[in-house]
Structure 1
Amino acid sequence: MRKPLRILILILIALRLLVLASCGKDYDWHQKLTVEVETPEGLKTASSVMSARLSDTHGPFVPAEANGVSFQLNGEAVALEVSRGRYLFVLLKSVPALNWLVYPKMESVKAGALLENGDDGGAGRVALKPDQYPLLGTFYDINNPASVKRVDPTNLEATFGPGYRLNGITLVLTKEPVARGKVEKLLGWWTRYADQAGRMISLRYPNKSPRGYDTLSPLDFWSLGNIPK
């Protein structure tokens, strides 16, 4: 091989390695969300294992506006049957990242690297504070999309009746596989509702916002794309 050609190949390899090194890094771990509810029939619990990914896009060749750290969560919402045919869903929307809970004073990228290696700093199961609770929802009729309702975590009785109380919501680092299938099976009717572009329709639920409602999409209940093997 001619010397100039060898030099060109080495330069191309070096440039490729430099570009790869400048594209940031992803840190992946699994976190298990568990909800406990006191019911007239006793304490009931349900869990869902989710795949968390912390992406660091800092790099010398990354545009300034693209530099930063982002968090993505994939998996299924927690679905707890609190009474026959009535489910409490702890939605993916606003589930906190475990790195912020177990390493609150550490740079998020460093914390993500520790969690990816299975190190939670000895935190174990973390009890969420009320202001850290994800969005809770239910359907008065699990087969009727129009019956969707937001659930107040401080007042489950208003939705489910006397004797129902949220006992707590916890997060823990785990090596268990990501949950699949339960929520999609419960809400299989959602796949039959689509707009003209073929996208699944979002559901409205009333709230106290100026427009009087907010929306829930299928991605608030299950998001199973981009899960690392």
Structure 2
Amino acid sequence: MLITPLQISSPILSFAKRIILTISVAVCMLASACNGFDTEKLKVTVTVEDNGVRYTGSAVQGISCDSELRVGGVFLQGRSCRPFGEAVPIKLGNKGWVFMIFSGYQGSDPAALMQYNPEYYPYTIQANRSKDNRNQPWEVDLKRAPAFVRFTNLEDRETAERIEVKQFEKHFGRGVKLVSIHCTPTKEWVTRGKVPKLLPWLDELGTSVTDLSTPGQPRSLISQISKLNFVWR
């Protein structure tokens, strides 16, 4: 019996097809288990009052989240989010600038200083957001607000100071207080370029960190902030 080359290659081709099919199914399962990235934008407006005069600063910020990953019922990765855009700068007349940076909730507990990590920001800023109506504006609880920072000299990062929510008066004088942090879902362009103009050393900072002083407390590793607290692309 004469065996042709085609007959010899048929089992090999069949095996190759099964391998390709198996890989394709695995890829499809992986793709269906992860919904990709969800991106949305928020207009964040901060209001500070100085003896009856109100000053506001705003920025359109983005939040990008990846979905949790499950394959065949096996949990592989949790949902994670990060901000992008810029911190919110507020000019208090002739008293200078204050920035609400990308950070987590800043409590009075010194351990809370660890949450200067900007990846905490999406969860902090959205803590009071409605789960039923995502398009509804909301107010951030000031007791659980992100961190505020000011520089006594904008051109010198070593002059950074942390400002606690209830202690604006210590830095800017009697009668100065934080009034509100208002968030509104938007389709506007993400704010770009304003903060780098105010803080010319940001580009030089790169991946380095700078110490953040708190009155009455020594500088330490847990009080270091980085460029990503101010600008994250």
SS in 2 for 1:102: coil
Take 2:83 and 2:161, find their aligned partners in 1: how far apart are those partners?
23
TM-score normalised by L of structure 1: 0.75
Take 1:188 and 1:85, find their aligned partners in 2: how far apart are those partners?
19
SS in 2 for 1:188: coil
| Structure 2, gaps ≥5 residues long | 1-9, 105-120
Preserved CA contact (<8 Å) 1:30 1:51: yes
Take 1:144 and 1:210, find their aligned partners in 2: how far apart are those partners?
19
Counterpart among 212, 216, 224 of residue 204 in structure 1: 212
SS in 2 for 1:120: coil
- CA distances 1:79-114 after superposition (whole Å, capped 9, x unpaired): 11112371110011123446643335x7xxxxxxxx
Partner of 2:166: 154
Counterpart among 70, 90, 93 of residue 100 in structure 2: 90
Partner of 2:107: none
Preserved CA contact (<8 Å) 1:76 1:222: yes
SS in 2 for 1:80: strand
Partner of 2:89: 79
After TM superposition, the structure 1 = structure 2 runs for residues 1-229 of structure 1, keeping only pairs within 5 Å, are 4=14, 9-40=20-51, 42-60=53-71, 64=75, 66-84=76-94, 86-94=96-104, 95-97=121-123, 100-103=127-130, 120=134, 123-124=136-137, 126-193=138-205, 199-206=207-214, 214-224=223-233
How many residue pairs match? The answer is: 203
- CA distances 1:16-58 after superposition (whole Å, capped 9, x unpaired): 2122223453222111211001125821111111111222233
Take 1:210 and 1:61, find their aligned partners in 2: how far apart are those partners?
51
Partner of 1:114: none
Quick one: which amino acid aligns to residue 148 of structure 2? L
Take 1:88 and 1:99, find their aligned partners in 2: how far apart are those partners?
21
Which structure is larger by alpha-carbon Rg, 1 or 2?
A: 2
Preserved CA contact (<8 Å) 1:24 1:59: no
Bigger Cα displacement from structure 2, 143-152 vs 21-30: 21-30
Q: Kindly report the root-mean-square deviation, in angstroms, between the aligned alpha carbons of the 2 structures.
A: 2.9
Preserved CA contact (<8 Å) 1:35 1:45: yes
Take 1:202 and 1:210, find their aligned partners in 2: how far apart are those partners?
14
- CA distances 1:57-90 after superposition (whole Å, capped 9, x unpaired): 33126975x4212221111100111123711100
Identity %: 22
SS in 2 for 1:101: coil
TM-score normalised by L of structure 2: 0.74
